Amino acid sequence: MRAAATQLRSFILEKQEGDFLGDEREVIQQLGVSRTTLRQIARLLEREGLLAVKRGANGGYYARRPNVSSVEAAVIDYLEILEIRPDELSTMSSIIWIEAIRQACGLKSPEAKAAARRLGKIVRASGDDLSYGELLAIEQRIRSEVFGLIESPYVKFIFQINVKFAQTRLSKQISDKSVAPIDSEFIRTWRDVKLLELGSIGHGDEELGTIAAQRTRNLWRQVSQFQLPVERKLRRGREGAQVTGDASLITALGN
């Protein structure tokens, strides 16, 4: 069964989305397996997002391409099984982000300069009273544009896996994360290092960009000292409205 599944998988990957592979009889002949075995293989490949089986008079087997969401979900489920440590997520996110910034700085293109200016305006316009959700929204916008600049789907995919897995873990530990204000001193420091990152991209300075990206990661690691630095007056005024959670997970989310 494994060999036949591999054979059918390879055949599908040579096709385009929606291509007709044959009816059940034809696929059985092609693989040299029984009907029962083929149906077991079909269920496996359907779960992988590679196969669509249509029943009825005009039915048959059709090639599919897995979408990003389904692959991400499968990988995240597997990471849960592996019991990945939060600090591993943080380390990998740091390595990937620093390399992404270095590549973006190396472009020295008009598009990179324009993106740096555009994102810089967003960061400068951010107030000192940002909530955690607003801060992450800005980070996500910057990530999206940086990964778009370097045109590396693989790097973007691996980074997103880290972030989404961290979100999955952290969502079980955080309350009011989208509305709780963050300490203004943290926001000002974040703004400074983020502008340094973007300025490095705009000037095409790979060395400075690498240093800036490392500083950004180090800033998020400092969260470990206070978990997430929520505004102190909120802590005094509303019990239960604190944003807490594993520091390494927050770091992985931060960038």
Bridge partners, residue 181, by sequence? 131
Kindly indicate the confidence band of residue 107, based on its pLDDT and cuts at 50, 70 and 90.
Answer: very high
Whether residue 150 is found in the same domain as residue 247: yes
Whether residue 187 is found in the same domain as residue 218: yes
Whether residue 133 is found in the same domain as residue 193: yes
* Portion of the chain with pLDDT greater than 90, in percent: 51
Return the pLDDT at 71: 80
Q: How far apart, in Å, do the first and last CA atoms of the chain sit? A: 43
Please give the biggest Cα pair distance in the chain: 72
Whether residue 231 is found in the same domain as residue 130: yes
Whether residue 53 is found in the same domain as residue 83: no
Distance CA 131, CA 223 (A): 15
End position of a domain, from candidates 13, 29, 63: 63
Q: Which domain CATH number covers 53?
A: 1.10.10.10
Whether residue 194 is found in the same domain as residue 142: yes
Whether residue 8 is found in the same domain as residue 84: no
Whether residue 132 is found in the same domain as residue 169: yes
Report the candidate in 194, 197, 178 with the shortest Cα–Cα distance to residue 130. 178
Distance CA 204, CA 148 (A): 16
Average pLDDT over residues 54-60: 85
Bridge partners, residue 52, by sequence? 62
Q: Residue 206's Cα: distance from chain center in Å?
A: 24
Higher pLDDT, residue 33 or 79 = 33
- What is the domain range of residue 163? 68-254
Structure tokens at 245: 């959670």
Backbone angles phi, psi at 156, to 5 degrees: -60, -45
Helices of type H across 108-204: 110-125, 132-150, 153-170, 184-203
Whether residue 240 is found in the same domain as residue 164: yes
Higher pLDDT, residue 228 or 25 = 25
Cα angle value 132/135/141 (rounded, 5°): 140
- Whether residue 245 is predicted with pLDDT greater than 70 in this model: the reply is no
Could you give the number of structural domains in the chain? 2
- SS3 track for 64-133: CCCCHHHHHHHHHHHHHHHCCCHHHHHHHHHHHHHHHHHHHHHHCCHHHHHHHHHHHHHHHHCCCCCEHH
Return the pLDDT at 252: 58
Higher pLDDT, residue 55 or 7 = 7
* Portion of the chain with pLDDT greater than 70, in percent: 82
Distance CA 88, CA 248 (A): 8
* Out of 24-33, 159-168, 205-214, least confident range: 159-168
Higher pLDDT, residue 18 or 71 = 18
Structure tokens at 164: 């989404």
Kindly indicate the confidence band of residue 139, based on its pLDDT and cuts at 50, 70 and 90.
Answer: very high
Whether residue 198 is found in the same domain as residue 220: yes
- Whether residue 10 is predicted with pLDDT greater than 90 in this model: the reply is yes
The mean pLDDT value of the chain amounts to: 83
- Whether residue 219 is predicted with pLDDT greater than 50 in this model: the reply is yes
- SS3 track for 206-230: HHHHHHHHHHHHHHHHHHHHCCCCE
